[in-house]
């Protein structure tokens, strides 16, 4: 997919250090704008019933979604599925101050694998436990269902791909996904064919560069 890098710079606009992840010359995420990544975990777990939760986070990045998930005391195990071993190493070395200590949390397993390949396979995210089902799956990898980082990911955003993923959720479990854009009708319809109680929440946050607000969104769906 290209060279992934972690950049630290001093931003005079906000007068603080900023941490950014880039794939080649494409910006993936910034410590300036973690609101929707945090809301992904909060909203997804808010509709997840039960205790002793077993949760998957797809995409590690700067770690905001995983860290927010751990703030829910019901989370017992959290598997973070990350394609890049370099990203995992950033966290093992605590290079990102906001999420330092994440990799050392005893509830966390950092799994270096392809989320999409695992999610659409029968073996799932823990091949040594092929029958394992999860209470929630929280995904933040591609920009949107249409704007993907890698062409093979597109198969996931179809009815067949989502149905394969749903097999790894417990009944009543939640699938939640971050997107850079508002709801896309085609993807909402695909979710509706596989899940129940499908919705999309737009998340607004202050943007110091525009002097106004910007938004991302979170898709939410429940397995019947």
Look at residue 86 and tell me if it is in a domain: yes
pTM of this prediction? 0.96
- Tell me the per-residue pLDDT of 172-220, one tens digit each, with 9 for 90 and over: 999 999 999 999 999 999 999 999 999 999 999 999 888 899 999 999 9
Judge whether 23 lies within some domain.
no
Q: How high is the pLDDT of residue 14? A: 86
Tens digits of per-residue pLDDT, 152-164? 999 999 999 999 9
Residue pLDDT, tens place only, 123-151: 999 999 988 999 999 999 999 999 999 99
CATH code, domain carrying 148:
3.40.50.150
pLDDT recorded at residue 109 = 98
Q: Is residue 15 part of a domain?
A: no
Residue with the bigger pLDDT between 15 and 84: it is 84
The domain containing residue 58 runs over which residues? Answer: 33-222
User: Does residue 63 lie in a domain region?
Assistant: yes
Decide if 155 is inside a domain: yes
pLDDT in tens, 68-113: 999 999 999 999 999 999 999 999 999 999 999 999 999 999 999 9
For residue 25, being part of any structural domain is answered with no
**pLDDT at residue 97, as a whole number:** 96
Q: Residue 15: pLDDT band by 50, 70, 90 thresholds? A: confident
Q: Long-range contacts of range 194-199, CB-CB < 8 Å, 24 or more positions apart?
A: 194/159, 194/162, 194/163, 194/166, 194/221, 195/162, 195/166, 195/221, 195/222, 195/223, 195/224, 196/221, 196/222, 196/223, 196/224, 197/47, 197/221, 197/222
């Amino acid at each position: 997919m290209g060279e992934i890098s972690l950049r630290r710079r001093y931003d005079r606009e906000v007068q603080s250090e900023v941490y950014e992840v880039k794939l080649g010359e494409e910006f993936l995420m910034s410590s300036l704008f973690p609101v929707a990544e945090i809301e992904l975990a909060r909203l997804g777990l808010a509709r997840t019933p039960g205790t002793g939760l077993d949760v998957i986070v797809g995409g590690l990045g700067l770690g905001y979604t995983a860290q927010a998930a751990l703030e829910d005391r019901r989370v017992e195990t959290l598997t973070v599925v990350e394609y890049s071993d370099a990203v995992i190493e950033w966290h093992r070395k605590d290079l990102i101050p906001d999420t330092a200590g994440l990799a050392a949390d005893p509830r966390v397993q950092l799994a270096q694998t392809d989320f999409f390949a695992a999610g659409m396979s029968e073996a799932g995210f823990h091949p040594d436990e092929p029958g394992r089902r999860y209470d929630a799956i929280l995904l933040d990898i591609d920009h949107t269902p249409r704007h993907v980082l890698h062409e093979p990911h597109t198969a996931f955003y179809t009815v067949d791909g989502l149905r394969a993923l749903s097999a790894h959720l417990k009944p009543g479990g939640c699938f939640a996904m971050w997107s850079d854009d508002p709801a896309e009708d085609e993807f909402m319809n695909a979710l509706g064919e596989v899940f129940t109680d499908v919705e999309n929440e737009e998340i607004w946050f202050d943007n110091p560069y525009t002097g106004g607000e910007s938004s991302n969104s979170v898709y939410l769906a429940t397995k019947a």
